């Protein structure tokens, strides 16, 4: 398919807000797309080139796109920047100038695969003078595209091709493509959760159909599995009523890490819950083979920072310093780690995801040798609510977050579905009355008054995702140290916008001074959840307080409205 035809669909999608209509448009596009290019088409539709875990990034800044536009159409960089300030979108600027220019191909011969490969070449270019080469390559691509296509291609390297849908909508569209409805969604989603590569799934569906594409899917060492997540309950009695016999495990304040190890392939990978490859963060795992009985394993763990004497467990922010400091080996000496191993998903060619919790624990105990680096979590089996309460208090007294309670006969199910795993967690800070913290998406910030004018940031506006929409929850102005204020400002300026995103639902009286893309997730504590006529969720937080950045979570992994309402119910009990 020619890219010019894809651009027509991109424009349709951009103008459509209805989820069902978006699904139908995608299904129509997928029917026309050949099997050899549907994976590339899907990646481009999502503004990417590969699944998240492959770590393919453009490393292209706005200034580079502005220079590429100027180079292509013979304009001064300042003039292009002026147009950008007025339009608020470099895609629109590129298209506008392309229409006026004889350099742009109005009947572009480039296919979807051609454009994909040229963008991949831009992303892979690195080293000395790579910035100049990237600008030149983007400029050459603009020259060979029709004006409408340049609008979308200009946005992709900046991560700003936001069409109002995600991987889940693509799954719906693949079902609609084959069945004319969403009846195949469930089986396709299960396959995606085990191998979360939406391009690969689309290609398989196109080649062999949904039934075969989603049959007998098992984990692959080196490709992250979407992790199982815990629901929230704060009543041990209710836990036993809903779950029956359970295992009670400690809840650590660490970084969720799925470890993939293959002895024969000499492979070691570590993935966060948002599927990022963070293998280089953990030099300790170099000798993991000494601690494993088996050839290939996928382990679910919590990486917890320790004090240098390996006695006291450090908090999440201390653990996460490894991601922000370049010299990881030096940091490893300052912040040694322990991996609290609590589940096993795969061993020596066999998927264990469908087996019951107790059986997986038995396999896990026979897989991890006793050592100080990788410690299999304690698990207390019970049907007594009082035992859950005792274990909870025991862990709180030890400085841990609480407990995770797991149904003993449950398979490993990715995502947060049913009452298979639930967490009973103390809120951060003894003054916080709400019995859990909330992960929110930052939508923008206020410039600040008084002493905070020097930082250029006083409060942040945070919200919760509801489908593809982001609705406001609260403004947060407490819990920030001077260092955090500086870091927050620096992070938000990298994702700032000239205007409010179309998917933000915000009351005019709550609008921030600076809007930001919904990329940064932060953890918030509060006294309670209250009803609110001003915030677009209809609820807000009383005395909200910033706790920490959640770099291990994507916006779609933050607290959901359903979870928020559940917390609202819990606090009133």
Distance CA 524, CA 567 (A): 13
CA 554-556-561 angle, to 5 degrees, is 135
Place of tokens 């995600």: 166
Distance CA 440, CA 555 (A): 8
Question: Which strand (E) or helix (H) includes residue 297?
Answer: strand 296-305
Using a CB cutoff of 8 Å and minimum separation of 24, what contacts does 494-498 make?
495/519, 495/520, 497/88, 498/84, 498/85, 498/88, 498/89
Distance CA 387, CA 374 (A): 26
Distance CA 152, CA 458 (A): 34
Residue 405 forms beta bridges with which residues? Answer: 248, 422
CA 444-448-453 angle, to 5 degrees, is 130
* 251 tagged catalytic: yes
Using a CB cutoff of 8 Å and minimum separation of 24, what contacts does 348-353 make?
348/294, 348/295, 348/296, 348/297, 349/296, 351/218, 351/219, 352/412, 353/194, 353/218, 353/219, 353/225, 353/411, 353/412, 353/413
Q: Which of 67, 251, 423, 545 is catalytic?
A: 251
- Phi and psi at residue 216, in whole multiples of 5°? 55, 40
Label each residue of 342-406 as H, E or C.
Answer: EEEEEECCEECCCCCHHHHHHHHHCCECCCCCEEECCCEEECCHHHHHHHHHHHHHCCCCEEEEE
What interhelical angle do 35-45 and 112-124 show, nearest 10?
A: 60
Question: DSSP per residue over 70-113, as a string?
Answer: HHHHT--HHHHHHHHHHHS-HHHHHHHHHHH-SSS-TT---BHH
Pick from 168, 225, 227: nearest CA to 53: 225
Distance CA 119, CA 138 (A): 8
Catalytic residues: 251
């Amino acid at each position: 398919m020619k890219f010019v035809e894809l651009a027509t669909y991109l424009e349709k999608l951009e103008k459509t807000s209805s989820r069902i209509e978006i699904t139908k448009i995608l299904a129509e596009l997928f029917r026309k797309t050949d099997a050899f290019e549907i994976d590339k088409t899907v990646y481009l539709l999502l503004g990417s080139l590969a699944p998240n875990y492959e770590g393919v990034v453009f490393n292209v800044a706005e200034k580079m796109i502005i220079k590429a536009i100027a180079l292509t159409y013979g304009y001064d960089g300042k003039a292009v920047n002026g147009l950008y300030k007025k339009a608020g979108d470099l895609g629109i600027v590129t298209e506008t100038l392309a229409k006026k220019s004889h350099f742009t191909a109005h009947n572009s011969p480039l296919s979807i695969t051609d454009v994909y490969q040229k963008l991949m070449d831009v992303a892979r270019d690195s080293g000395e003078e790579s910035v100049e080469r990237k600008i030149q390559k983007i400029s050459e691509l603009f020259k060979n595209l029709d004006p409408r296509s340049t609008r979308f291609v200009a946005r992709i390297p900046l991560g700003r091709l936001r069409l109002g849908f995600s991987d889940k909508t693509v799954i719906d569209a693949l079902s609609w493509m084959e069945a004319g409805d969403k009846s195949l969604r469930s089986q396709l989603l299960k396959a995606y959760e085990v191998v979360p590569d939406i391009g690969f799934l689309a290609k398989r569906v196109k080649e062999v159909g949904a039934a075969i594409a989603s049959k007998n899917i098992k984990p692959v060492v080196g490709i992250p599995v979407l992790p199982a997540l815990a629901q929230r309950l704060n009543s041990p009695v209710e836990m036993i009523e809903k779950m029956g016999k359970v295992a009670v495990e400690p809840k650590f304040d660490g970084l969720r890490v799925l470890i993939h190890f293959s002895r024969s392939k000499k492979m070691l990978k570590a993935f966060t819950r948002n599927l990022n490859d963070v293998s280089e963060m953990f030099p300790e795992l170099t000798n993991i083979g000494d601690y494993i009985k088996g050839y290939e394993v996928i382990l679910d763990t919590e990486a917890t920072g320790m004090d240098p004497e390996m006695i006291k467990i450090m908090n999440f922010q201390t653990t996460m310093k490894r991601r922000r400091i370049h010299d990881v080996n030096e940091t490893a000496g300052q912040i040694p780690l322990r991996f609290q191993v609590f589940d096993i998903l795969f061993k020596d060619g066999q998927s264990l995801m469908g087996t019951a919790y107790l059986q997986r624990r038995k396999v896990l105990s026979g897989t991890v040798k006793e050592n100080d680096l990788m410690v299999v979590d304690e698990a207390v089996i019970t049907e007594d609510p009082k035992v859950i309460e005792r274990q909870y208090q025991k862990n709180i007294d030890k400085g841990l977050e609480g407990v995770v309670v797991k149904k003993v006969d449950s398979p490993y199910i990715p995502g947060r579905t049913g009452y298979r795993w639930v967490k009973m967690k103390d809120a951060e800070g003894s003054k916080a009355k709400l019995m859990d913290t909330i992960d929110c998406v930052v939508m923008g910030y206020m410039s600040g008054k008084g002493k905070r004018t020097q930082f250029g940031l006083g409060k942040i506006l945070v919200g919760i995702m509801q489908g593809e929409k982001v609705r406001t929850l609260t403004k947060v102005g407490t819990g920030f140290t001077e260092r955090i204020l500086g870091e927050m400002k620096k992070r938000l300026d990298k994702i700032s916008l000239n205007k409010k995103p179309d998917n933000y639902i915000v009351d005019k009286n709550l609008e921030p001074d600076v809007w930001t893309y919904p990329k940064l997730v932060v953890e918030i504590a509060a006294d309670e959840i209250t009803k609110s006529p001003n915030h677009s969720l209809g609820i807000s937080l009383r005395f909200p307080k910033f706790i920490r950045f959640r770099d291990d979570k994507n916006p779609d992994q933050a607290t959901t409205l359903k979870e928020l309402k559940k917390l609202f119910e819990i606090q009133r009990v």
